[in-house]
Amino acid sequence: MNFLFVHRDYPGQFGALAAHLAQSTHHRVAFITFADAASDSIAIRRCQPKRAPSPGTHHYLTGFEAGVLNGQAVYEGCHRLREEGFTPDVIFAHCGWGVGLYLREAFPMATIIGYFEWYYHPHDSDADYLDPHGVTPDNACRIRTLNAPLLMLLEDVDLGLVPTAFQRSTFPASYQHKLRTLHDGVDTDYFVPNQNVARTFDGKNLGKVNRLLTFATRGMEPYRGFPEFMQAIERLLHDDPDLHVAIAGNDKAYYSKQLPDGDTYKARALRQLPGLDLARVHFLGTLPRDDYRRLLQMSDVHAYLTVPFVPSWSLVEAMACGCHIVASDTKSTREILGGHETAKFVDHRDVLQLEKVLRDALHDKDAAQGLRRNARNRAETGFSHKSLLLQWEAIAIAARKEAAR
């Protein structure tokens, strides 16, 4: 069977699945992406949009125009694959950024399985979680318009996969019959507990730190609770001379509103917290995979904070490493973690509450052992590549057979 994967970034959510399928002599695997990548077993074809969205485009439609340009680029990549003699039976396409918009035109007979992450809502959702009155009418209209490419793709796909039931619930009821809940999983054989790892990062020796609070994020931004976390650790550090804090992530906003004039949420936090003991706050940047795993393994308490939004892989990876987790009390984190037997929950918008829960966790090592063990077990049984990849493959084969009837 011929499989095609489409994702703006390589490998995105499809890396483990594409590699798994490529190992089989019964399958051929191709991948269209905007990233510069190479593989011995996967035919990777790179494409790029011809231009950026026009500055004159209505601001509600800037994202839609970008999606059209991205979809056009992928369509041309598909045309090159077809000229090379590759026609997919099944296409796995990420349904963000418009990259899958014209796959049905490129390969009309293929079975298309879409990977859907989020359907946008301006109210009672991620957009107004931190500020219930902060979404203006103009911004609400813009947010609704973001769903236009998603609706086109919901019409085109034969089947949609959504990582969690919470994310699936954000999509319209009229399309629920097309959507199934299935997480993409993490490598629980790689992310494992190991408290005896080296505790040095780029010259920073944390080997003699008695209590280490960790925070790992793609971007340091409000959507992932960074400002509140920084406020909470100021007093924690003041009250506990043995505490150190290690923060991994990029000083950039990926989901939150960009600050003006090149300002960042990290820079703003440091300005607003002049009493912060920076000698015990270690900004590690974006870590290589092995170093990131070591950080999770050596953590005494790991904070995972988020608005009700797409939950990060990092939460499951922290669970797999047996972290003692303090998590935002949202539907997304509750679904992943399962309940109080695996983590402590907090409304991170209440900084005093966040500070208290973190302090209690840092000093409650007896309870931590059970939480760590349960988090690891839940990651292994519910989110391991070992079982989930086989489910993804079985769904693809079944969908293809159904379409061929």
2-185+385-404 against 200-382: fold identical: yes
Query: Domain 2-185+385-404: which CATH class?
Result: alpha beta
Give dist(CA 57, CA 68) in Å, integer.
13
What pLDDT does residue 391 have? Answer: 96
**Cα–Cα separations (whole angstroms), residue 116 to 64, 78, 79, 96, 399:** 16, 21, 24, 7, 17
- pLDDT tens track for 240-297: 999 999 999 999 999 999 999 999 999 999 999 999 999 999 999 999 999 999 999 9
Asked if residue 219 lies in contact with residue 249, where contact means CB atoms within 8 angstroms, the answer is yes
Asked if residue 314 lies in contact with residue 216, where contact means CB atoms within 8 angstroms, the answer is yes
What pLDDT does residue 324 have? Answer: 97
Question: What mean pLDDT is predicted for residues 49-56?
Answer: 96
Helices (H), 157-219: 165-169
Q: Which distant-in-sequence residues (6+ apart) come within 8 Å of 245 by Cβ?
A: 212, 213, 214, 215, 233, 236, 237, 280, 281, 282
CA dihedral 28→33→38→41, nearest 10 degrees, is: -10
- pLDDT tens track for 302-344: 999 999 999 999 999 999 999 999 999 999 999 999 989 999 9
Q: Report percent pLDDT > 70 for the chain.
A: 100
Q: Where are the domains of the chain?
A: 2-185+385-404, 200-382
Record the pTM: 0.94
**How do beta strands 204-205 and 200-201 pair?**
antiparallel
Place of tokens 């369509």: 75
- pLDDT tens track for 62-105: 999 999 999 999 999 999 999 999 999 999 999 999 999 999 99
What pLDDT does residue 208 have? Answer: 85
Query: Domain 200-382: which CATH class?
Result: alpha beta
